[in-house]
Amino acid sequence: MSRLPIAFIILGQVACGDNPEQASTPDVDAEVADSSRPDAPTPWIYPDDEEEVTPSLQAAALQEAVEVAMAAALELKPEVVLELHELLYPTPVSGSGDATGCPFFLTYDYGTATAFYWQGECTAGDGTMFSGYGSVSIYNGFVNEYGTFDGFDVTLSGRIEAADGTFLEGSGQAGAYLGAAEDLTSVSAVLDGTFLAGGPRAPVSPWLDGTRRPSLSINGWVYVPTGGRNVTVAGGIAGLDFPDGVSAVSLDNLTARQALAGASCEREFGGGAGVRGDDGNWYDVYFDGPSDEEEETPAELCDGCGTTWFRGSELAQTCVDARPYLKEAR
């Protein structure tokens, strides 16, 4: 997996003197910018590191970091966002709407799917304060091109606070879905963003206390004729009890799959994982197990270990057994 640095380029204006012919544009490729001028452009290309950067994390720390991230991902609970949202602002009756009330809201009814949307910067008559916007969708036997499923989806960019001080705020998406199609049953969950709750009626949850910063999606399925399971995790998370020196983990479609679901090697993950050190450097691990594109794993690579890279240099392999994660997702 590759990560491109984000550069913020400040474009300054060049002041001109009395003589226009004396005006000039600074050399933006100069190795040293004129730091005496706050509007001086930064160089387009920075010089390479003068000193070699050596890895500070060992294979054991990388292994533990991936294990901690996977364990947390499989315990993802987007339901806590829906439940608190419903407590603070119960779903309006389908077919209703108010463009002048607090908050402004609209409802939608598609039979097997219902939804409502709200927005506002106001305080309702019962003392509930609204700021921003949100929406909730509920699915019951909803059919689309992927099959039939039940579930919900919440999007929020704002805050709801009741008169007693119970509140929910956040920016992101929370959702969970159960479905079936042909010979598969599936379960999915997404929690993308940071949600924070407090007050006397707020639930106690690590997904609502602001410590975890997830951008995760979990997709699990069971092949019904054999009962074989698969779970795939994508996204990243910070704020967990990682080993010393680790600040975050990114999971790149990290996949655990049983032989009954078509894998030739259960102990080997498919996909990859990235571990971010406290110094900002990434360690990328690529496993050799099953993926949607390739179920077979060569026998010589069925060892539970992935090739590990650090700034273009190969390190000792990182080994993580996939089998403990072949339980029912969530």
> What tens digit of pLDDT does each residue of 92-101 get?
999 999 999 9
pLDDT of the residue at 328: 52
- Please state the separation of Cα 325 from the chain's center in Å: 19
Alpha-carbon gap, residue 80 to 70, rounded angstroms:
20
pLDDT of the residue at 35: 57
pLDDT of the residue at 5: 37
Beta strands in 147-183 (DSSP E): 147-161, 167-181
Extents of the domains making up the chain: 61-76+209-330, 78-175+191-204
Positions of the chain with pLDDT under 70: 1-40, 42-43, 46-49, 327-330
- pTM of the shown model: 0.81
Judge whether 304 and 267 are in contact, CB under 8 Å: yes
Residues contacting residue 243 through CB under 8 Å, at least 6 positions apart = 60, 61, 64, 65, 68
Q: Report the DSSP beta bridge partners of residue 104.
A: 119
Measuring CA to CA, which residue among 174, 177, 175, 115 is closest to residue 143?
A: 177
Q: SS3 breakdown of the chain: % helix, strand, coil, rounded to 5?
A: 10, 45, 45
> What tens digit of pLDDT does each residue of 277-286 get?
999 999 999 9
Alpha-carbon gap, residue 244 to 247, rounded angstroms:
8
pLDDT of the residue at 4: 38
Helices (H) and strands (E) in the chain, counts: 2, 14
Alpha-carbon gap, residue 268 to 52, rounded angstroms:
33
46-48-49-50 Cα dihedral, nearest 10 degrees: -110
